[in-house]
Structure 1
Amino acid sequence: MRHILLVLILLCLVTTVHAQTTAAKGLGIIKGTIIDSAKNAPLGYATIAVVDAETKQPVKSTLSKDNGSFELSGLALKSYQLNVISVGYQTKSIAVNTLKEGAATANVDKIILAPSSSQLNEVKVTAAKPLVKQEIDRVSYDVQADPDSKAQTAMDMLRKVPLISVDGDDNIQLQGSGSYKIFINGKPSQMLANNPKDILKAMPAANILKIEVITTPPAKYDAEGLAGIINIITSKTADDGYNGSVTARYNLPWGPNLNLTGTAKQGKFGVSGYVGGGDRIAVTTNSLNERQTYAPVSDFLQTGSRQNKGKYVYSSVELSYEIDTLNLLTGSVEYDKGRFDQFQDQPTQFTSADPGTLPQSYRLLNNGGYGWDETDLGLNYQLGFKRDKKQLLTASYQYTYFSNENHSDISTVDRVNYNSPDNNQQNNAGTRQHTLQLDYVHPLKQLTIEAGAKAIFRNNFSNSEVENLTNVNGQNVFVTDPTLSNDFNYHQNVYSLYNSYTYKAGNWTWKGGVRMEHTHVDANFFTDGSSLNRDYTNVIPSLSIMRNFSKNQSLTFGFTNRLERPGIWQLNPFVDRSNPQIINTGNPDLHAVLSHLFELTYNKSGIGNISAKLSYMYTNNSIVSVTKLISDTLSETTYDNVGKYKTARFNLNGSYPITKQLNASLNTALFYVWIKGTYNGEFYSNKGPRTNTNASVTYKPGDDWTIGANYGYNSHLIWLQGGSNHYMYSSLSLSKVILNKKLTITGVVNNPTQKLYTYTQFTSTPDFYQANTQYQIYRTFNFSLNYKFGKLSSDIKKNQRSINNDDVSKQ
């Protein structure tokens, strides 16, 4: 096997294709070189925009390469105006009238740009930045273009992103599915994988540049995530000198948050990152658990309140050292830590129509909490080549450690016919992993070849213990119950190879590839001495085809298969008895799942932009949450490979500047869900339509003021055994920029017309009906101050390839 893998790697890395650039019949090419007049040197990253000479409508644009050269192909044979724009230089316009049959290539030779020290003070941007951008394999949401980002959180922004929905309990779904991968700056975050609600509600949106939704990930990405990948991009380029911002935010009733971002560069060394923290003040919410059993008829009712408070810190730093023009070394450090304490008071009662069963009641007191601790260390070496700056060889290493500890001290008072002992339970679960990765990019004239290899060595662990209050020699002491305690290790090694190709010809772009992943699983249950050993191999194809049309229109087709490997929280055999009548546990015997996704997207950009997407996804033996009744008073919820899931979806999103001051945007999804499966001897089938819609308007009465309004609606969730109710949300925002645009003051009110919200999730089977209702605080107020400082002059170098451990889905 090792020899086969080595041969495949070498074949991938040495593959080359000789291609010639020829003008397609009836299409023309404009090319040239941009020169800095002051330095008499090539000028890279200048914008070259082609405008129709007759209609004055934009046709196509590109950036000049490091050597100043550029090429625009696929142009109709007619007259154009070429506009060359670069920050700090005078804009230049050139007429191109030579494209015709027999002379399909126009070489404008050297275009010389002169510096302009006053240009930045003279230019005013009058068009609103588009919030959403469609690319060949992804859609991105520009968070910085959203005025609410100054005071809102990352979770608030996710509600507005196309293809993403957030339910009333802050559970995130991508394309209607809970199986996806989420990471920051192209790197996995175990913190987000295991505790996304608290982290994203704590993270200021001001840290985020954009949020990408990658629905048909190319072969270079790991195959995990049935519905795709959510990538939150926070890193910013830095320049010689330094810059930064300080944001102080207060949310009523949740508490304060302080955040610092900064970038600095001196010569070949650069650093960028952010650090922040907050204090979640004590807030009390109410809840209701209920269950009705049909044979015999019985009723379980549990009301109560929960108080939650805690503290958290988060940080991320990226370092860069440019050894020379071809050798680059980068590193990263991420550290996150948090702790939340909870106290629950839940009066409970049980009644039954069975005359032999006595009514039961008690008051459940649960004093506990949970905490997390994550460390990520990364190191990348990038080698460039003289023949082409885009030809790259990258070697990467990453170490990740994440732990999550929770404990519950459970006692009962006011007992009536209830004899279960008080107990303490604790569980420490997490992941340690090492990742090695090699990537190679080989660009040709119209073709780009990518290949690579990767190995992940992952150890998931769980150590749990339960102590029951027991009378020993006349004294009440807590004694460990070995039947309820468990030590569990789950080793998962993933070896992968990939090869992908991107080909551009005129108005067509093809991106396709194949990824092969071999997984070895070795699990040990130290408590009872049992183990499991499993190997499987998956071959994952991906294909995206984009066709560009006139008037900035495009049509994109995508197909891919995706994997879902069970994560530690689905596998964890720890039995959570913090509520003695509603227990939760994982299933260490879960198998990986394969899905199939097809999608077709139409996009048009210009003064406004609009995108429409049709997609279909189906999955067999999907991992679903299932519940069964153990006794009249006790239910158990776990996971199993029993679901067959299909969804057909239509997405529509767009934005339009109604006036120079007023801009509107819409993001809506309509989809139909089918899910069926057999569990505990019963066949279940559930189906129905769903929708999630978000609309927003932004009004700028002047350069310094911004007013925003936002409204959203999400219909009920559909699960194998049940679902949830629908919910709506809204917000109003106002921001003001002062002190020469260095200080931004922002205020936001969320859900101004609704103080509380009732969110219910339910399970319905032939034997029982069970529901959990949360009475959530809905009306909140955000107030923030954001101050920018610093001075910049040149860009930081960053690796173009790094490790993306997107092979385990968010749970």
Structure 2
Amino acid sequence: MITVTHVKKQLLVLLLSGCALLSRAQNQNSTHGEYGIKGVVIDSASGQPLGYVTVSLSRGNEGVRKTVLSGTDGRFGFSGLVSGTYSLTMMLVGHQRKKLEIKVDKDDAGTKNIGTVLLGHSNNDLKEVVVSAERPVIKQEIDRLSYDLEADPDSKGSNVLEMMRKVPMLSVDAEDNILLKGDRNYKILLNGKPSGMLERSPKEILKSMPASSIVRIEVITTPPAKYDGEGLTGIINIITNKRIDNGYNGSLNVNGRFPANGPGTGGSLNLKSGKLGLGINGGGNVSDVPAVGSSRFRETFGGSPTMLVQSVSQESNGNSGYFNTELSFEIDSLNLISGQFNINGNKWNNDNLQYSELQGADLMIQRYNLVNDYLRKGRGSDAGLNYQMGFKSDKNRLLTFSYRYYGFVNTGSNNISIYEAVNFYDPEYRQKNEGRFSEQTLQADYVHPFKKITIETGIKAIFRNNKSDFGYDSFDADQGIFVRDPARTNVFKNTQNIYSFYNTYQYTIGGWGFKAGFRVEKTVIDADFVSAATQLNRDYTSLIPSVSVNRKLTDNSNLNFGYTTRIQRPGIDLLNPFTDRSNPNFESSGNPALRTASVDMFQLNYSTFKKGNLNIGLLLGFFDDLVMPMSYFDPETNISYTSYGNTGSARMTGMEFAFSYPLTKKWKYSLNANFGYGKVNGVVNGEKVSNKGLMPSIFSSTDYKMDKGWRFSANVSYYGRGITLQGRSNGIVGSGFSVNREVVKDKLTFSLAANNLFTKYRESENRTTGTDFIQQSNNRSYFRSFSASLDYRFGKLKESIKKSRRGIRNDDVAGGGN
């Protein structure tokens, strides 16, 4: 029987063998010579040197080997050549193209100076060009798919979370959690780097981030080995960096939304002066949610069956904000320093009123009313510095050193009051949990392009510290004060040190493109319960191969295949042993003994882009040691307990379909659909459990461009049920209508939107089943909403800024608030 492990080993052997052969071939064929060519480009009319002339070097039928730009003094040069005859082609806008044949041999001592080259002016004036075709919204690359938000007019009146519903392979469930291929185990990057605000509280930040500040969203389906191995189903990369040039540009968005989720604002500013560049993004959101109701139901079986019914009224308000900046300084054409700094924070207050009644077969067992004043707040920051060094022989050859610090603090507190209680004797109590996380990363990357192959390698070290300080205080009626309960109070510390090495190869020949590599990661974990003087230590090594193959079928169609292994290390949210007792009949906690989960993922994708866009993908995933929630009922206490364990093994098959087509010059239709079928197996409380089901999501939209700058769009969506080891969640249907108008062309846009006009509330159902119980929670939230948005763009651009092409990407931790 052929297993996934056997396939992985065979792929790794083939990969290493292929890498060795390619490397040997390149070493034989790419020996640098000892000759060079240099010269000066002069304007034939003025006699002045011409800067920024594109000078291309080719030899025979080999195509272009190297390309350089002339300096401001008109000088250019090539080195590392072998003897032979070369063609030099020189091009500059407004000037005639010139081609020269240059021969270098043993008679030339070192570098051959061809002297002055004159470029004459072109007689053809550059006239205005009107482009009538719209650029494609979806683009398929060898290992990723990207969605161009700038090409989608809906982005001017929506936030980023709303636009994610339109991105192939992404969906947003009933709780506003982002799903990739129907799963929450992924990582989100900002401009190819981790961002503290998205690692800690992504959905709150993305709700407050205007989509007009985003260039595109990339879904990296087969992450290459240069990325960390974590993020089971892939990586979501949000690109905010617009083309920043000498001068400045920016955008400002102001929006209002009611009856819930409040007003918000956000914007960006990009500055470029000489060698110094600065990019800034920031925003905030205020949200007041009027009172809504929810309920919880549990039925137990066995010798003493019970029925529990709870109803809750909840009112909440909160705010969130973020600020991030990137700085770049080009020391010279070969040396670049860049850095980033991000801060973010949020605060949320919930007032809950709960009625609970527990019934036995013939009598009432327990009843009480509970008031819970819950406060949640957090703050986070991260900063990084990158130094990139190029090489004169080839400016695409790069050496990069990077450092990053990231940390956050999340605090949650509950103040619980009980009144009108029958057969309930627990006193009033308070519980508080403060979670802290800090991380430091050191990384070095090296990129060496040869003729047709590019080799990348790097080393990395991550040092993580998790800490949870939790306490439980109960009211002592005799003393009239709250007293700390030491049995429910502790300090938990967890450190993760990760050391990794990677090697990747990218090779192109004919219509084929190959990207393959491997990554080795060693993880060392130490956990410590300070108060109980208990420790947990272990280490392990992970081998992570990845292979991506692209076949160009025509100029407009591609076929992609990808295979990779991904892992998921549990984060502090899943490890934290703090027990949440805010509901006396339901308790939940993390598990500090969790291990790393892994998946072997195979993907096949076909895409064609011509008048319309079509993308069809198939995937197959095998999951091991999957971290899943586990629930069981204790009849002695009448409490349901939920924690996490590496109990799950799963298999998932899926299909992704994305289609966009212009029905007329003004009318466009799009469809984005994902269908996944999953089966999960595990053990809960000593009993074997399995679950399976279809998990569909469909988003359909249409867009019509009217006269005088008006545009109308409408959408309808369906997000099917989700499945867990013991349960499922319900599906949901949504709709939306929007209209926007460019008040000032390319500058000022006004938008109005109405979402879910036909449904005031969203009803979310989560059902869990055990051997002796069934429980279900029904949560209600505002679904119908109206919004208005004003988006303003300003500035003027001239010349592009430099940015580091490599940097730190930590994309591995699960449970970061998704």
Taking structure 1 as the reference length, the TM-score comes to: 0.87
Please give the residue correspondences for 1:11-30 in structure 2 after superposition, counting only pairs within 5 Å.
Answer: 17-18=26-27
Q: Among residues 480, 486, 490, which one is paired with 2:490 in the alignment?
A: 486
The aligned counterpart of 1:525 is 529
User: Aligned to 1:607, which of 600, 604, 611?
Assistant: 611
Query: How many Å apart are 1:43 and its aligned residue?
Result: 4.8
What is aligned with 2:755? Answer: 750
The structural deviation recorded for 1:123 is: 3.0
CA spacing shift, 1:475–1:117, aligned 2, 3 Å: farther
Q: Distance in 2 between matches of 1:323 and 1:691?
A: 51
Matches within 5 A, 1:340-379: 340-353=348-361, 358-379=364-385
Question: Structure 1 residues 732 and 440 mapped into 2: Cα distance closer, same or farther (>3 Å)?
Answer: same
Match of 2:771 in 1: 766
Which residue of structure 1 lines up, in the alignment, with residue 346 of structure 2? 338
Counterparts in 2 of 1:231 and 1:279: CA distance versus 1, 3 Å: same
Q: CA deviation at 1:426?
A: 0.8
- Partner of 1:201, secondary structure, is helix
1:268 corresponds to:
275
Question: In 2, are the aligned partners of 1:45 and 1:63 still within 8 Å (CA)?
Answer: no
* Aligned equivalents of 2:224, 2:135: Cα separation in 1: 27
Write the letter of the residue equivalent to 2:497.
N
Q: How does 1:72-111 map to 2 (within 5 A)?
A: none
Q: Report if aligned partners of 1:245, 1:260 keep a CA contact under 8 Å in 2.
A: yes
2:330 matched residue in structure 1? 322
Aligned AA (2:444): L
Note the alpha carbon deviations across 1:153-198, whole angstroms, 9 max, x for none.
Answer: 1211111111112111112221122211112111223433332232
Letter in 2 for 1:470: D
Q: Which runs of 5+ in 2 are unaligned?
A: 1-15, 31-40, 57-62, 71-75, 77-89, 100-116
State the alpha-carbon separation in 2 of the partners of residues 500 and 427 from structure 1.
43
**Counterpart in the other structure of 2:740:** 735
- Please name the residue that 1:52 is paired with: none
Q: Is the 8 A contact 1:466 1:481 kept in 2?
A: yes
CA change 1:751–1:198 in 2 (3 A) is same
Determine if contact 2:315/2:352 at 8 Å carries over to the other structure.
Answer: yes
Q: Using the TM superposition, name which of 383-392 and 158-167 deviates more.
A: 158-167
Partner of 1:54: none
Instruction: Confirm or deny: 8 A CA contact 1:342 1:368 kept in the other structure.
Output: yes
Q: How many residues align?
A: 739
Q: Deviations over 1:289-309 (max 9, x none)?
A: 111111222111111111111
- The residue number in structure 2 matching 1:5 is none
1:389–1:496 distance in 2 versus 1, CA, 3 Å: same
Q: 496, 517, 521: which is aligned to 2:500?
A: 496
Partner amino acid, structure 2, of 1:292: E
- Give the distance between the partners of 1:332 and 1:163, measured in 2 at CA: 29
Q: 1:513-572 CA distances to partner (integer Å, 9 max, x unpaired)? A: 010000000111102010111110011000001111125221111100000111110000
Cα distance in 2 for residues equivalent to 1:333 and 1:548: 40
Pick closer, same or farther for the CA change 1:284–1:66 going to 2, 3 Å: farther
Contact 1:226 1:595 in 2 (8 A): yes
1:648 is the counterpart of 2:653: yes
Amino acid across the alignment from 2:297: E
Deviations 1:675-702 (A, max 9, x none): 1111101111111222111111111124
The one-letter amino acid of 2:338's match is T
| Equivalent in 795, 798, 807 of residue 803 of structure 2 | 798
CA-to-partner distance for each residue in 1:782-806, whole Å, 9 max, x for gaps? 2111111222111111000010011
Q: How does 1:118-137 map to 2 (within 5 A)?
A: 119=127, 122-137=128-143
- Tell me, in whole angstroms, the C-alpha distance in 1 between the residues paired with 2:632 and 2:505: 48
Q: Which of 160, 168, 187 is equivalent to 1:162?
A: 168
CA distance in 2 between counterparts of 1:139 and 1:765 reads 40
Give the whole-Å Cα distance in 2 for the aligned partners of 1:62 and 1:722. Answer: 59
Aligned pair partner of 1:176 in 166, 174, 182: 182
Correspondences of 1:26-37 after superposition (within 5 Å): none
**Within 2, Cα distance between the matches of 1:541 and 1:118?**
50
SS in 2 for 1:576: strand
The 2-side partners of 1:584 and 1:592 are apart by 21
SS in structure 2 at match of 1:193 = helix
Distance 1:285 1:420, change over 3 A: same
Does the alignment pair 1:476 with 2:469? Answer: no
Identical pairs, percent? 40
Amino acid at match of 1:335: I
From 562, 567, 582, give the equivalent of 2:566: 562
C-alpha distance after superposition, 1:416-453 (max 9, x if no partner) = 11111111111110211110000000001100000000
1:194 touches 1:810 (CA, 8 Å); kept in 2?
A: no
Q: 1:225 to 1:238 in 2, by over 3 A?
A: same
Q: Secondary structure at the match of 1:188?
A: coil
Q: CA deviation at 1:657?
A: 1.4
Letter in 2 for 1:279: V
Given the superposition, is the C-alpha separation of residues 363 and 115 from structure 1 closer, same or farther in structure 2, using an over 3 Å criterion? Answer: farther
Counterpart in the other structure of 2:387: 381
Corresponding residue for 1:74?
none
Whether 1:252 and 2:265 are equivalent positions in the alignment is no
Q: Counterpart of 1:293?
A: 300
For residue 497 of structure 2, give the secondary structure of its aligned residue in structure 1.
strand
The alpha-carbon distance between structure 1 residues 18 and 187, as it changes in their structure 2 partners (threshold 3 A), is same
Cα separation, partners in 2 of 1:145 and 1:513, compared to 1, 3 Å:
same
- By how many angstroms is 1:656 displaced? 1.2
CA contact (8 A) 1:36 1:42 kept: no
Code of the residue aligned with 1:558 in structure 2: it is G
Pairing partner for 1:284 from 284, 291, 296: 291
Match of 1:189 in 2: 195
Q: Match of 2:201, as an amino acid? A: N
**Structure 1 residue 130, shift from structure 2 partner:** 1.8
The amino acid across from 1:682 in the alignment is E
Indicate which of 531, 538, 541 corresponds to 1:534.
538
Structure 1 residue corresponding to 2:624, chosen from 617, 620, 625: 620
Q: Which moved more, 1:622-631 or 1:369-378?
A: 622-631
**Cα RMSD between the aligned structures?**
2.9
Which residue number corresponds to residue 210 of structure 1?
216
The offset of 1:36, in angstroms, is 10
Which deviates the most, 611-620 or 194-203?
Answer: 194-203
Q: State the shift of 1:142 in Å.
A: 1.1
Contact 1:19–1:444 (CA under 8 A) maintained in structure 2: no
Conserved? CA contact 1:488–1:526, under 8 Å = yes
- Residues 109-154 of structure 1, C-alpha deviation per residue, up to 9 Å, x if partnerless? 99999699975xx333322222211111111111222222112112
Contact 2:662 2:668 in 1 (8 A): yes
2: CA distance, partners of 1:62 / 1:199: 45
1:18 alignment partner, SS class: helix
Partners of 2:323 and 2:428 in 1: CA distance:
39
Q: Supply the AA of the counterpart residue of 1:514.
A: F
Match of 2:638 in 1: 633
| SS class of match (2:445) | strand
More divergent stretch after superposition (382-391 vs 192-201)? 192-201
Unaligned runs of 5+ in 1: 1-7, 22-33, 47-60, 70-83, 95-108
CA-to-aligned-CA distance 1:350-395 (integer Å, 9 cap, x gap): 111176xx53111110012111111100000000011111100000
Name the residue aligned to 1:587. Answer: 591
Give the secondary structure class of the aligned counterpart of 2:163.
helix
Q: How far is 1:277 from its partner?
A: 1.4
Residue in 1 aligned with 2:405? 399
Instruction: Work out the CA distance in 1 between the residues paired with 2:794 and 2:774.
Output: 58
CA separation of 1:787 and 1:45: change in aligned 2, threshold 3 A: farther
Q: What is the rounded CA distance, in whole Å, between the counterparts of 2:494 and 2:360 in structure 1? A: 42
Structure 2 counterpart SS, 1:636? strand
User: How far apart are the structure 2 equivalents of 1:37 and 1:573?
Assistant: 77
- SS of aligned partner of 1:359: strand
